[in-house]
Chains A and B, each alone.
Chain A
Amino acid sequence: EDKVVQSPLSLVVHEGDTVTLNCSYEVTNFRSLLWYKQEKKAPTFLFMLTSSGIEKKSGRLSSILDKKELFSILNITATQTGDSAVYLCAVETNRDDKIIFGKGTRLHILP
């Protein structure tokens, strides 16, 4: 059965800290790995990763994929209170264009 596992499930840090969120997966017909940020209700897209070892970066956020070890990390440097959200990892499969989500990591940034 395809699955996506995120850790930790929740994390509380102080503003300015750097955090690393983890995502491991076991899926057949892997196509890509996706990261989303969910603040209120609708997840918003952050990154899509398809190749191992190539870092994607957007401001203070960066992510990398390891297709051999089947995991990805999302790094946030110099965290701000506005980074408080649930971060969802998902894997896209070639079968039926399906996305499988992990449970998410709830990140809370203390001022």
Chain B
Amino acid sequence: DVKVTQSSRYLVKRTGEKVFLECVQDMDHENMFWYRQDPGLGLRLIYFSYDVKMKEKGDIPEGYSVSREKKERFSLILESASTNQTSMYLCASNPPGGAREQFFGPGTRLTVL
């Protein structure tokens, strides 16, 4: 079974802190994604990556950056956390080809105080 793991289930940070959210997948998938989930807004794509060291902006990249140094790991970085970044963050991966199932991690609930 594909497994996507996220480093933390719950995280509490203070405004202005630098925050790292880590995601690891064990199925050798080329594509990895970071989404943000908010009530009433569904899933919104922040960034995605097709390959190591490659990244593309999604629909809401402002205030975020990403890093993909290894194929299995995709990190989301909040350079200076703000309260409006309090949200559920979901990581996903899938093989190349696009129109294929995305496998999601369990999510990280981030609270910025």
- Chain A partners chain B: no
Question: Taking beta carbons and an 8 Å cutoff, which residues of B are in contact with A?
Answer: none
Residues of A at the B interface (CB closer than 8 Å) are none
